[in-house]
Structure 1
Amino acid sequence: MNQDYIQPNPWSIIEEDFDKERVKSSESLFSIGNGAMGQRANFEESYSGPTFQGSYIGGVYYPDKTRVGWWKNGYPEYFAKVINAPNWIGIDVEIDGTPLDLATCSNIKNFKRELNMKEGWYRRNFVATTPNKIEIEVVATRFLSLSHDEVGAIQFEITPLNSNAEIVFKPYIDAGITNEDSNWDDKFWNTTDISCDKNRAFIESHTMKTHFKVCTFMQAHLVYGDAVNETPDTLNEKELSIGFEFHQNVKKGEKVSLVKFGGYTVDRNHDADKLKQTANQALDQVSSLGFDGLLKAQKKAWAQIWEMSDIHIEGDVKAQQGIRFNIFQLNQTYTGTDSRLNIGPKGFTGEKYGGSTYWDTEAYCLPFYMATKNQEVARKLLKYRYNHLEKAIENAEKLGFKNGAALYPMVTMNGEECHNEWEITFEEIHRNGAIAYAIYNYTKYTQDHSYIPEMGLEVLIGIARFWQQRVNWSEHRKKYVMLGVTGPNEYENNVNNNWYTNYLAKWCLEYALEQLEQVQQNHPDDYKRVLEKTKLTNDETGLWKKVAAHMYFPYSEEHGVYLQQDGFLDKDLVRVADLDKKERPINQHWSWDRILRSPYIKQADTLQGFYFFEDHFTEQELEKHFDFYEPFTVHESSLSPCVHSVQAAKLGRMEQAYTFYLRTSRLDLDDYNKEVEEGLHITSMAGTWMSIVEGFGGMRVKDGKLSFAPKIPEQWNSYSFKINFRDRILKVTVTQAGTRFDIDEGEAITIMVNDEPVTLSNQDQK
């Protein structure tokens, strides 16, 4: 049974009624971010019940020493983790001397959380009776500013309802925090200075080992009636925290408010010796705007984002809420302003996966950012990998590869591999191909032919060198084979000849050869520079051709399908539909040994190859493989339903495509995998966008032209989306009666609709 407490609403995530059992889940679901930092939706006031407190700063991490029972040569020394940053949101509250704590209050009513996605703010309100019998109403509003991305704002309002009361607000900042996810319970932060100036406070600290310097800051003032009090009554300074006290006698039925600004300045962006100075400057800027002015700027910034990235669905509120939640969280996580940052699978909503970069970015996220931003944003994601090429070569060298072979990491913050599960780190090497595929995908979509000669060719050469060295010749098969790998289906480890990995390797070799020829012809200076730098020889490229031409692919004549790996047919092929539902999800009920011997597929594996290389296969081949593999797929990866939705739509199976779409779009809202309290599945949210745009909309780039094959689920009246394609802004509106295409910006363009050419211009809409 999935959770169902989130209220259906097209523009907001809403929870009603207080339930201690779902606090941690809601802390994930109502998380906020602005690309530079983010935080879970923890209460500002003290809460003694179960909670997972977390605030995170983009790019600030700690190398948590690897913890394994049996050390193997080649293991990474550490797992890089985005760490829980000093807490700036805290506001302890006392009502006539009694702490406000929802875990100890009684008669809690009118409890409501709202995450307003349209305007970018989070609000919580409730009425409760404190242990000393004072009934109060609380309204707390919070957001992280997009226009001033080092600053967040809180407005905490209290109204005593049944008597007068002395209300004490105690805003504070606290560096005495710990990580939920820690291998050795190390101390991650070292506090170097705590100070205050009037109603402002500062904690300067740095991360251990990595020495990121951070100034955590706050400013607070009290508002009661027309009076504004900027002078705290008391200063509370401890070893690792600093705070103020504002005392106010409040009459029954009257409201008192604390307004707090807070955030971080970091030496990634500023002079390390001037972090407190820049914090003061940030506070000066937002103080001049005030809470309302900053909120107005927030609404404007989000309106601009939604103007381009919104997908509007009519006739299905849950589907509408799901896609907007996904788009909202993607935009909260990555704004494209900093090429040093990337997209972690949990974003700023939790600590699982360390907040690091995975292959999810290239395989799933790039299409979303290409189509909803300008191409520079997508180019920065590719530049991120180019900047880490030397580290990828080092990663390969540690495993015995030579001559500039590059193995991009499974998990990274700085380009260095930091994942330490053997079957993933050293065997799930298909991620190397996703990097190359992203270069291809970006170039095909944008027609930006400058990236490959400037940066991408070096990346492709390093990746091709890896694949050529990773295979070995099988005298038995008279083919090149790939032994000891893990494909996208992590429910099989250390298998031989995973079809997807082999196919991707062959394609990477051929694509690198093709791009070498293109750069030689069209950019001879870059070609000469790259060859001199990489010392690439004709003998080497000749070997690439040989490997690509003689790659082995396991195939079943009986079933007429490529086999996921050599031993797939040796398994007990019981379909998922015949499993006892009480044993699902199997990753929470079965031993790992049993899972590895089963036929069950965590996410698209062979079908991932059919997704990437759709044009290489007929629709009949796709259908045969889909019908063979999907019945064994348990979809216990967040990345699974979206690929299957796209392919089901292509096959015209709209009911199945819709079911997969609803699952991927509401994966977290409905907590399908029973783990949302750990954080949201940010990277798979881009797959939700793909499900609509590529699945239902049928959007592809074919022979250099934008192409559509629109379909619509019967549950919807219509849906619409915009894409930025080569400096044209196109709007696509699909109804049950037909499809309309409009150009909002840019020159005329000829697109393909159901394989027929259609020319669009601002004057002549279709």
Structure 2
Amino acid sequence: MSREYIKPNPWSIIEEGWNPDLVKSSESLFSIGNGAMGQRANFEETYSGETFQGSYVAGVYYPDKTRVGWWKNGYPEYFAKVLNAPNFIGIDVFIDGEALDLAKFEKSDVKDYRRELNMKEGWYERSFKIELSDAKTIQVTARRFLSLNIDELAVINYQVTALKGDMRISFQPYLDAGITNEDSNWDDKFWEVEELQTTDHQAFIRSRTNKTNFYVCTFMQSELYKNGEHVQYADPFDKNETVIRHKVATQLAEGDTATLLKYAGYTSSLNYEHFEIFDAAKNVLHKAIEKGYDQLLEEQKDVWAQIWLMADITIEGDMKAQQGIRFNIFQLNQTYSGKDARLNIGPKGFTGEKYGGSTYWDTEAYCIPFYMATKDQKVARNLLKYRYEQLDKAIENAEKLGFSNGAALFPMVTMNGEESHNEWEITFEEIHRNGAMVYAIHNYVRYTGDYSYVPEMGLEVMIAIARFWHQRATFSQRANKFMILGVTGPNEYENNVNNNWYTNYLAKWCIEQTVNHLNKVKDGHNDDYNRIIGLTKITDGEVASWLEVAQNMYEPFDEDLGIYLQQDGFLDKEIVPVSELKASQRPINQKWSWDRILRSCYIKQADVLQGFYFFEDHFSKEDLEKHFNFYEPLTVHESSLSPCVHSIQAAHLGRMDQAYEFYLRTSRLDLDDYNHEVEEGCHITSMAGTWMSIVEGFGGLKIVDDMPSFNTRLPEQWESFSFKINFRDQILKVHVAKDGTTVTLDGDSSQDILVNGEKQTLEPVAVNS
């Protein structure tokens, strides 16, 4: 059951009315980021109620030592924690000496409370009125944004207006490095505060992470305006071991407005030598003060306008659907910009700590299509390069589990390439993630036409993965087939199963892909081929042994039903559709024991159907329909990654009511808090699946004979929808309406496409909207 309190709006996320019970949920939904850092929508002023404080610096993490009752060989040494970084947003507000704290007031005393996340322009604002006494009432409006132009800079505009009465107002902007994570395994201290500095009107704190030795400088400078006129800069006021506090004050007559402008942010040793981060912070502040608030805000609007020019999806006739897709696109762009190949897309982005790590298989399976189509192809190439540069670590991960000869197992969760996931049934058994790496390379090449990645980097990744699958397979003399035993498929509600069809099919396909590309690189890129052979020491005999595994891979299949089985023994379960579950039993991951879940037929997310999504062209529409009819009724969709795959497949089958229902669920999963967990953070990587639901589902995009093909379907709830894709450096705009589909081209040369099965040749026209 969803929980709806966000107001429908095409370009903004809006909350109206003060409800302390929603604070933590809204802190997630109104989060902001700029690819280099991000933060939950915590209050600037003191709030003594329940809150989940969170600010994050991309790429900065802590290796929290694994905590388990029974240590197993090969277990990851640590869990990579996304670090709650020093807090720079703090502004304590005092009215006539009394601290402003909404938790101290009756709910009815807080009037006109409103939050807005303006997605079109890239800023977040919170406002409210409060009666402090019979004689005094104030209006507070706080707006902030994280600059996309200067990605180490945050800007806060905090205004207090005396609506009734005269009063003295004091602002105390501060930096606080004495913060902790909520999810520490051992209550370790993640940060050491090394130095605090106050110079003129500026403040700096240098912190260092324990173990990983990242250095971060948190900085600020603040200035006071009264009725739009500059009054003074905030001066040093107080300091202890972890906090620097400045202060500025003024007298307000009724009707006056005091505005504190606070410039703050982070510089880190990711980009500078550790002894340079103070000077780098001063340089950021110099740029900020020189530009000023108004110019910085206009620049922010301009950058977001450019992002939306390419990334926007418009939906006519369905406000909630429109708001949902823009929220997803906005969060994806806040999380990852593609500027830095060392970074990736964490499952919670900058909205919370849960799941740790910066990289899951979600990136390759779900996110790359979004970044590939809405940005320059170099952005998607950077995501592939990220995995290539961690290949040595993937080989080490496999060695720890007993594999040899350069076999690689890419991690389930990672920051630097090392496996850092703490649940054994996933760490050791959810090995299908290896297949997603190869699929991403395949997907990139067929979409961009850029084959150069394969000889330069990709083939080495594929060889290491093929070696893994070859060694992981077990030959069954009884069946005279190779099998893959003891795995967990995408459906995490079944652990330690034998012959998960999706895993087996991926393994077979990965080996065949690797052999095909070995031959292609040998024929067309001889220097790279010789380099790779020299590095990997691969032989014809080894390749032949791979192919023996691929050609004799066991695939569980039921002849009576005519379907591939999720794994051996699946039909031994009691097959009862989800529709027969009582509402009181849902979600089963919160209502049932793990033992009961594992024995049930219920599927957390697309498993067999994930394979049908990846390899749609390997199967007929009748095959898809038969498998969809069997597996979807058993799927509880308790993974954020599930509804989007089912939406795409339902659309391909012409089941538009189902496709729309799944789309709305994936697009508003967080906005309407379907799983009652949004206070922990948003589901960032599944948001790319929402984009896929429209572009690949309703838009029907796929690559056929090296050209874009669109098989479009319009939900009856919509009047029309449109989207753009960057296909090989040319922009295609697709508009789908009740009277048909039109595609226009903005580029330099003609482009052949297929629209609902008919070939068209497009000539370039200017497309600016």
TM-score by length of 2: 0.99
* 1:512 pairs with one of 511, 514, 526: 514
Is structure 2 residue 20 aligned with structure 1 residue 59?
no
Is structure 2 residue 418 aligned with structure 1 residue 416?
yes
Check conservation: 1:104, 1:130, Cα contact below 8 A.
no
Provide the C-alpha distance between the structure 2 equivalents of 1:3 and 1:744, rounded to a whole number of angstroms.
42
* 2:140 pairs with one of 134, 138, 141: 138
SS at match of 2:103: coil
Q: CA deviation at 1:613?
A: 0.3
Is structure 2 residue 570 aligned with structure 1 residue 595?
no
SS at match of 2:543: helix
Provide the C-alpha distance between the structure 1 equivalents of 2:503 and 2:764, rounded to a whole number of angstroms.
45
Opposite residue 203 of structure 2, the aligned amino acid is A
Matches within 5 A, 1:516-665: 516-665=518-667
Change (3 A) 1:132 1:398: farther
Change (3 A) 1:763 1:684: closer
Is structure 2 residue 77 aligned with structure 1 residue 82?
no
Check conservation: 2:192, 2:207, Cα contact below 8 A.
yes
Q: CA deviation at 1:232?
A: 3.1
Q: CA deviation at 1:216?
A: 0.4
Check conservation: 1:697, 1:711, Cα contact below 8 A.
yes
> CA offsets per residue over residues 166-215 of structure 1, 9 Å max, x none?
11100000000011121111111101100111211000111000000111
* 2:165 pairs with one of 163, 175, 194: 163
SS at match of 2:447: helix
Cα-Cα RMSD: 1.1
Check conservation: 1:639, 1:684, Cα contact below 8 A.
yes
> CA offsets per residue over residues 593-637 of structure 1, 9 Å max, x none?
000000000000000000000000000000000000000000000
Query: 2:486 maps to which residue?
Result: 484
Provide the C-alpha distance between the structure 1 equivalents of 2:441 and 2:635, rounded to a whole number of angstroms.
29
Provide the C-alpha distance between the structure 1 equivalents of 2:210 and 2:472, rounded to a whole number of angstroms.
37
Displacement over 6 Å in runs of 4+: none
Provide the C-alpha distance between the structure 2 equivalents of 1:222 and 1:356, rounded to a whole number of angstroms.
38
Query: 1:179 maps to which residue?
Result: 181
Provide the C-alpha distance between the structure 2 equivalents of 1:453 and 1:355, rounded to a whole number of angstroms.
29
Q: CA deviation at 1:249?
A: 0.9
Change (3 A) 1:646 1:170: same
Opposite residue 640 of structure 2, the aligned amino acid is S
Query: 1:669 maps to which residue?
Result: 671
Provide the C-alpha distance between the structure 1 equivalents of 2:272 and 2:306, rounded to a whole number of angstroms.
28
Check conservation: 1:489, 1:602, Cα contact below 8 A.
yes
Query: 2:363 maps to which residue?
Result: 361
Structure 1, unmatched stretches of 5+, are none
Opposite residue 188 of structure 1, the aligned amino acid is F
> CA offsets per residue over residues 561-614 of structure 1, 9 Å max, x none?
000000110111110000011110100100000000000000000000000000
Query: 1:47 maps to which residue?
Result: 47
> CA offsets per residue over residues 404-438 of structure 1, 9 Å max, x none?
00000000000000112110000000000000000
Query: 1:752 maps to which residue?
Result: 754
Provide the C-alpha distance between the structure 1 equivalents of 2:602 and 2:136, rounded to a whole number of angstroms.
56
Q: CA deviation at 1:676?
A: 0.2
Q: CA deviation at 1:133?
A: 6.3
Provide the C-alpha distance between the structure 2 equivalents of 1:102 and 1:132, rounded to a whole number of angstroms.
17
Provide the C-alpha distance between the structure 2 equivalents of 1:157 and 1:23, rounded to a whole number of angstroms.
21
Provide the C-alpha distance between the structure 2 equivalents of 1:231 and 1:705, rounded to a whole number of angstroms.
59
Provide the C-alpha distance between the structure 1 equivalents of 2:433 and 2:540, rounded to a whole number of angstroms.
27
Provide the C-alpha distance between the structure 1 equivalents of 2:489 and 2:66, rounded to a whole number of angstroms.
24
Matches within 5 A, 1:180-219: 180-219=182-221
Check conservation: 1:95, 1:134, Cα contact below 8 A.
no
Opposite residue 726 of structure 1, the aligned amino acid is R
Change (3 A) 1:131 1:492: farther
Opposite residue 192 of structure 2, the aligned amino acid is N
Check conservation: 1:199, 1:230, Cα contact below 8 A.
no
Query: 2:130 maps to which residue?
Result: 128
Opposite residue 450 of structure 1, the aligned amino acid is S
Opposite residue 421 of structure 2, the aligned amino acid is H
Is structure 2 residue 4 aligned with structure 1 residue 4?
yes
Check conservation: 1:203, 1:217, Cα contact below 8 A.
yes
Matches within 5 A, 1:13-28: 13-28=13-28
Q: CA deviation at 1:129?
A: 2.3
Opposite residue 78 of structure 2, the aligned amino acid is Y
Query: 1:724 maps to which residue?
Result: 726
SS at match of 1:353: coil
Opposite residue 175 of structure 2, the aligned amino acid is I
Query: 2:706 maps to which residue?
Result: 704
Opposite residue 698 of structure 1, the aligned amino acid is G
Q: CA deviation at 1:162?
A: 1.9
> CA offsets per residue over residues 88-132 of structure 1, 9 Å max, x none?
000000111111001112410100000000000000000012379
Provide the C-alpha distance between the structure 1 equivalents of 2:326 and 2:98, rounded to a whole number of angstroms.
40
Check conservation: 1:234, 1:246, Cα contact below 8 A.
no
Q: CA deviation at 1:159?
A: 0.9
Change (3 A) 1:157 1:712: same
Change (3 A) 1:538 1:18: same
> CA offsets per residue over residues 70-92 of structure 1, 9 Å max, x none?
11111111001110000000000
Query: 1:71 maps to which residue?
Result: 71
SS at match of 2:355: helix
Provide the C-alpha distance between the structure 1 equivalents of 2:610 and 2:548, rounded to a whole number of angstroms.
25
Q: CA deviation at 1:379?
A: 0.1
Check conservation: 1:602, 1:633, Cα contact below 8 A.
yes
Opposite residue 69 of structure 1, the aligned amino acid is G
Change (3 A) 1:101 1:133: farther
Opposite residue 754 of structure 2, the aligned amino acid is M
Bigger shift: residues 487-496 or 180-189: 180-189
SS at match of 1:103: helix
Query: 2:502 maps to which residue?
Result: 500
Query: 2:30 maps to which residue?
Result: 30
SS at match of 2:403: coil
Opposite residue 563 of structure 1, the aligned amino acid is L
Bigger shift: residues 245-254 or 333-342: 245-254
Query: 1:445 maps to which residue?
Result: 447
Provide the C-alpha distance between the structure 1 equivalents of 2:133 and 2:166, rounded to a whole number of angstroms.
16
Instruction: Tell me how many residue pairs correspond in the alignment.
Output: 765
Query: 1:98 maps to which residue?
Result: 98
> CA offsets per residue over residues 133-181 of structure 1, 9 Å max, x none?
6321000000000000000000000012221111110000000001112
SS at match of 1:402: coil
Structure 2, unmatched stretches of 5+, are none
Identical columns (%): 65
Provide the C-alpha distance between the structure 2 equivalents of 1:170 and 1:132, rounded to a whole number of angstroms.
25
Q: CA deviation at 1:233?
A: 5.2
SS at match of 1:8: coil
Provide the C-alpha distance between the structure 1 equivalents of 2:132 and 2:242, rounded to a whole number of angstroms.
29
> CA offsets per residue over residues 272-309 of structure 1, 9 Å max, x none?
11111010001111111111110000000000000000
Check conservation: 1:14, 1:114, Cα contact below 8 A.
yes
Opposite residue 146 of structure 1, the aligned amino acid is L
Check conservation: 2:64, 2:184, Cα contact below 8 A.
yes
Bigger shift: residues 347-356 or 311-320: 347-356
Q: CA deviation at 1:238?
A: 1.1
Opposite residue 579 of structure 2, the aligned amino acid is A
Opposite residue 637 of structure 1, the aligned amino acid is S
Check conservation: 2:59, 2:358, Cα contact below 8 A.
no
Q: CA deviation at 1:763?
A: 5.5
Check conservation: 2:135, 2:165, Cα contact below 8 A.
no
Provide the C-alpha distance between the structure 2 equivalents of 1:113 and 1:334, rounded to a whole number of angstroms.
24
> CA offsets per residue over residues 311-367 of structure 1, 9 Å max, x none?
000000000000000000000000000000000000000000114210000000000
Opposite residue 722 of structure 2, the aligned amino acid is S
Check conservation: 2:563, 2:626, Cα contact below 8 A.
yes
Check conservation: 1:168, 1:246, Cα contact below 8 A.
yes
Check conservation: 1:697, 1:710, Cα contact below 8 A.
yes
* 1:299 pairs with one of 298, 301, 307: 301
